[in-house]
Chains A and B, each alone.
Chain A
């Protein structure tokens, strides 16, 4: 077991390429998201180079859509930064959950990989680790795939957009939700996990209704994490 654990942080060209390919199917949907962003952004008053630069540098769809909502001739900088931080705060949790496997890497690699950390590749990488397989290739290669197709989609939206005016009518607003749910359901399932998920869901909903916008992910995740410590499993490893 110890030997197996020690190789889980493995990262080579083959693993990165395999990871790239593993995320290609979902990248198709990410392209469509990108198209939707490329269609919506000019309507909010952004010019083409700003839009392309935003998708390239920020690479975080939900927060980019949110900034469109704030886009006026003048934007309150602090409000904008708080909004972006709140929506992307789940990345903090992703980084924390990946740390045990990132720790053996030199800092440059560790932080380099995290440049492309995103929901889909993180969820898939976590699943690989849970199954005892190296997951950093999925994180990096998959992240590069997602980033490429997000930028490509944005470009397509700007240039040949209009083909998809209403993503929701095609069910495309559900892509990420269905993907993430498939990852949850495909993961470890037992009574303890169900209890933890129930706590996470309950806390998330309470935060969603009673706490500031976008706090629900962080609140739910931390509540679930605490529940996991309280109902610790005894038969595990140690």
Chain B
């Protein structure tokens, strides 16, 4: 079904987006309220919480440009050495920006 992107149609699209997004925010909690949280479920959830982030980041690291890869590497190294997130994030962004400016051919 196609919706016109004018007037009422726009509103329908916005509401559909909002409802679908809300369903994702509430759905996980809702489903879990029917699942008894035993030892296995706890382990699954614990392992999954880090894995969500890794799964988000993996294609970024593999498919991103060299600026993106260097940024992630910088963040990881600073985080491992200083153990402070803000310098790690700022360092990563700075490296991506500098690399893309200085060596646009390699980025």
Chain A residues with a Cβ under 8 A of chain B? 25-26, 29, 45-47, 50, 53-54, 57-60, 63-64, 67, 71-78, 80-81, 84-85, 88-100, 102-103, 110-111, 114-115, 117, 119, 123, 126, 168-175, 177-188, 193, 196-197, 199-205, 208, 216-229, 232-233, 238
- Verify B45–A96 contact, CB threshold 8 A: yes
| CB < 8 Å neighbour of B17 from A63, A221, A224, A228 | A63
- What residue in chain B is nearest A49 (Cβ atoms)? B10
Q: Assess the B32–A93 pair: CB atoms within 8 A.
A: no
Of all chain B residues, the one with the shortest Cβ separation from A84 is B20
Q: Provide the residues of chain B in CB contact with A98, threshold 8 Å.
A: 28-29
Task: Tally A-B pairs: CB < 8 A.
Answer: 292
Contacts of B27 in A (CB 8 A): 91-92, 95
User: B residues bordering A, Cβ < 8 Å?
Assistant: 1-6, 10, 12-18, 20-33, 37, 39-40, 42-60, 62-64, 67-68, 71-72, 75-76, 79-80, 83, 85-86, 88-89, 92-98, 100-101
Given contacts A74-B4, A96-B31, A115-B22, 6 further A-B contacts (CB under 8 A): A73-B5, A88-B21, A119-B56, A169-B97, A218-B55, A228-B43
